[in-house]
């Protein structure tokens, strides 16, 4: 069953409001195995609305229209729905009674223009909205079933769950379910991962598994969207592909599904009953901030030490032989990490020193990144260089440092070559 979502309102058309209702509806439908084929965004304009309703009626089986059910003159959904279906608007005593009841409960007087919200296309099926005055309704336009929903998010959410999704599932008569498996990685570019994963889709010969990517620097998300007759069918199809993805991307997979890099680190440290201190320079606190505010981090994260000048850090952690000349080396980072462990007394220290290029920001502006991790047993380090502008270096350094710590905690090499560094 093909579904379209039509979002109406000058605010979403103009971008003044980011259209989170659209993504909410779409995700909800996909989660229950329905297929969204088309999204349309239009303003509060009679002619455009009519055109959009007619186009949708011609190309999909069901449409969810969001917005335009309010009491003001720019709310046109009922009126245009009636026009598109070729019926009259009629007064719903049932809905008017519910609105009166709602106002009474809130001890408010209903303004006269709310009466408009009880005008529904003849023959429309009422979709209850127990928490607002906008009446949802369903109506056929041509052969397509249209579901009209309010723009207020909490009213929309409830109506979707209670009224619309059950009707769509019944209408679709669909036996298939769908599932999205996600892998998060750092260090390999999208096209690199794409070529590493060449042919994995073919492991499910009926074409019901689709490989996709979402790059959000510095991380990349690799997605396997799979459809099947039931959960067991999906599990069976997914298993060999998952295994293959894990094998080919190996150490670069930092988390799966809803896991996050910082969450994985916190989990590893919590399991060890370990404690963490972070030392950072140009990243300015951004590395610590990723971990320190997580629920449960209060048991693990002990200290963040931030300074732009290495001399400040040296003084703070009780080092005296400050290296006056020469460039930073991995040995400097190791010295700082060890001294910090000594001073703060945590089981783990992550120290990240960055030497920025001179001059103004530019596309090949870079930074040298020195990462050290100190524990009671040992101190490991990684030296890298990232180019691509000041902000690019900053984001890359934060991710690389956290990923180094993740690798260390998982017993993986911390200095595996990545695509984003200059060697």
Nearest in space to 25 (alpha carbons), one of 68, 55, 71, 62: 62
Nearest to 130 by CA among 112, 148, 107, 156: 156
The CA distance from 310 to 113, in Å, is 67
Candidates 2-10, 77-85, 167-175, 320-328; binding stretch for a copy of itself (CB under 8 A): 2-10
Residues 273 and 277: their CA atoms lie apart, in Å, by: 14
**Alpha-carbon span 210 to 227, nearest angstrom:** 9
Is 317 an interacting residue with respect to a copy of itself (CB under 8 A)?
A: no
Least distance (Å) between residue 132 CB and a copy of itself: 10
d(CA 364, CA 385): 11
Give 161's DSSP letter: I
51 or 329: CB nearest a copy of itself: 51
Eight-class DSSP state of 135? P
> 134 to 193, contacts with a copy of itself by CB under 8 A?
152, 180, 189-192
Residue from 127, 249, 265, 291 in contact with a copy of itself (CB under 8 A): 291
Among 166, 285, 318, 413, binds a copy of itself (CB under 8 A): 285
SS3 163: helix
Q: Interface with a copy of itself includes 107 (CB under 8 A)?
A: yes
Q: Which is nearer to a copy of itself, 254 or 292 (CB)?
A: 292
* Residue 240: how many other CB atoms lie within 10 Å: 13
Which residue of 199, 206, 321, 423 would you call a contact of a copy of itself, by CB under 8 A? 423
Question: Could you tell me the smallest distance in angstroms from the CB atom of residue 94 to a copy of itself?
Answer: 18
Q: Of the ranges 84-92, 301-309, 326-334, 400-408, which one interacts with a copy of itself (CB under 8 A)?
A: 301-309
Site for a copy of itself contains 229 (CB under 8 A): no
**DSSP states of 175-238:** --EEEEEEEEEESS-HHHHHHHTTTGGGGSTTS-EEEEEEEETTEEEEEEEEEESSHHHHHHHH
Q: Counting contacts by CB under 8 A, is residue 295 touching a copy of itself?
A: yes
- Give the contacts of 128 (CB within 8 A, at least 6 positions apart): 136, 159, 162, 163
Closest approach of a copy of itself to the CB of residue 109, in Å: 9
Counting residues that bind a copy of itself (by CB under 8 A) gives 105
Q: Is 379 in the site for a copy of itself (CB under 8 A)?
A: no
Would you state the structure tokens that stand for residue 97, as one six-digit string? 């009674």
Q: Nearer Cβ to a copy of itself, position 94 or 361? A: 361
**Cis status of the peptide bond prior to 111, with omega within 30 of 0:** no
**Residues in 110-139 at the binding interface with a copy of itself, rule: CB under 8 A:** 111-114, 130-131
Shorter beta-carbon distance to a copy of itself: residue 212 or 240 = 212
Q: Which of 245, 388, 402, 414 binds a copy of itself (CB under 8 A)?
A: 388
Least separation in angstroms between residue 197's CB and a copy of itself is 10
Q: Per CB under 8 A, does 355 bind a copy of itself?
A: no
Which C-beta is closer to a copy of itself: that of 16 or that of 411?
16
- Give min distance, CB of 409 to a copy of itself, in A: 19
Q: Do the Cβ atoms of 393 and 401 come closer than 8 Å?
A: no
* Residue 287 contacts a copy of itself per CB under 8 A: yes
Residues sharing a CB contact under 8 Å with residue 356, sequence separation 6 or more, in sequence order: 282, 365, 366, 367, 390, 393
Determine the 3-state secondary structure of 397 from DSSP. Answer: helix
- Name the phi and psi angles at 192, rounded to 5: -65, -50
- C-alpha span between 264 and 251 (Å, rounded): 14
233 binds a copy of itself (CB under 8 A): no
Q: Which of 284, 357, 412, 416 binds a copy of itself (CB under 8 A)?
A: 284
Residues 46-105 that bind a copy of itself (CB under 8 A): 48, 51, 55, 59, 70-74, 105
**Of the candidates 212, 240, 318, 413, which one interacts with a copy of itself according to CB under 8 A?**
212
With binding defined as CB under 8 A, does residue 286 bind a copy of itself? yes
SS3 label, residue 402: helix
87 or 268: whose CB is closer to a copy of itself? 268
Please name the residues in contact with 118: beta carbons below 8 A apart, sequence gap of 6 or more.
Answer: 91, 92, 93, 95, 96, 99, 135
Chain position carrying tokens 């309703």: 53
Which of 169, 274, 310, 387 is the binder for a copy of itself (CB under 8 A)? 387
Among candidate residues 86, 19, 87, 8, the one with its CA nearest the CA of residue 48: 8
Nearest approach in angstroms of CB 411 to a copy of itself is: 27
State which of positions 9-38 bind a copy of itself (CB under 8 A): 10-20, 22-27, 30, 36-38
Please report, as residue ranges, which positions from 263 to 282 form the binding site for a copy of itself (by CB under 8 A).
278, 280, 282
């Amino acid at each position: 069953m093909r579904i379209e979502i039509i979002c109406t309102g000058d605010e979403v058309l103009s971008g003044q409001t980011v259209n989170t209702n659209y993504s909410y509806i779409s995700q909800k439908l996909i989660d229950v195995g329905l297929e969204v084929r088309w999204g349309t965004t239009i303003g509060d304009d009679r002619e455009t609305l009519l055109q959009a309703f007619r186009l949708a009626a011609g190309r999909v089986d069901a449409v969810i229209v969001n917005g335009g059910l309010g009491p003001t003159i720019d709310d046109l959904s009922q009126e245009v729905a009636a026009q598109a279906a070729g019926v009259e608007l009629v007064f719903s005593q049932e809905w008017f009674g519910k609105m009166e009841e709602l106002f009474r409960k809130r001890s408010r007087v209903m303004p006269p223009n709310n009466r408009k919200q009880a005008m529904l296309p003849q023959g429309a099926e009422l979709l209850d909205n127990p928490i607002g005055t906008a009446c949802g309704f369903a109506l056929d336009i041509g052969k397509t079933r249209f579901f009209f929903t309010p723009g207020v998010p909490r009213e929309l959410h409830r109506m979707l769950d209670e009224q619309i999704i059950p009707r769509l599932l019944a209408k679709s008569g669909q036996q298939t379910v769908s599932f999205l498996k996600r892998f998060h990685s750092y260090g390999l570019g999208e096209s690199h991962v794409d070529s590493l994963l060449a042919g994995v889709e073919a492991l499910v010969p009926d074409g019901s598994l689709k490989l996709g990517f979402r790059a959000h620097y510095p991380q990349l998300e690799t997605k396997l969207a799979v459809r099947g007759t039931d959960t067991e069918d999906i599990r069976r199809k997914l298993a060999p592909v998952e295994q293959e993805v894990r094998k080919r991307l190996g150490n670069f997979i930092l988390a799966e599904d809803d896991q996050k890099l910082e969450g994985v680190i916190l989990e590893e440290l919590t399991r060890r009953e370990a404690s963490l201190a972070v030392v950072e320079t140009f990243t300015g606190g951004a590395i610590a901030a990723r971990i320190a505010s997580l629920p449960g981090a209060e048991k693990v994260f002990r200290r963040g030490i931030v300074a732009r000048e290495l001399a400040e850090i040296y003084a703070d952690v009780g080092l005296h032989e400050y290296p006056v000349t020469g460039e930073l080396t991995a040995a400097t980072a190791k010295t700082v990490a060890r001294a910090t462990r000594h001073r703060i007394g945590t089981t783990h220290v992550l120290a990240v020193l960055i030497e920025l290029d001179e001059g103004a920001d530019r596309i090949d502006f870079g930074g040298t990144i020195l990462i050290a991790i100190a524990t009671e047993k040992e101190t490991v380090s990684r030296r890298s260089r990232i180019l691509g502008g000041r902000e690019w270096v900053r984001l890359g350094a934060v991710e690389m440092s956290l990923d180094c710590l993740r690798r260390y905690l998982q017993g993986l090499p911390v200095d595996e070559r990545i695509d984003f560094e200059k060697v």
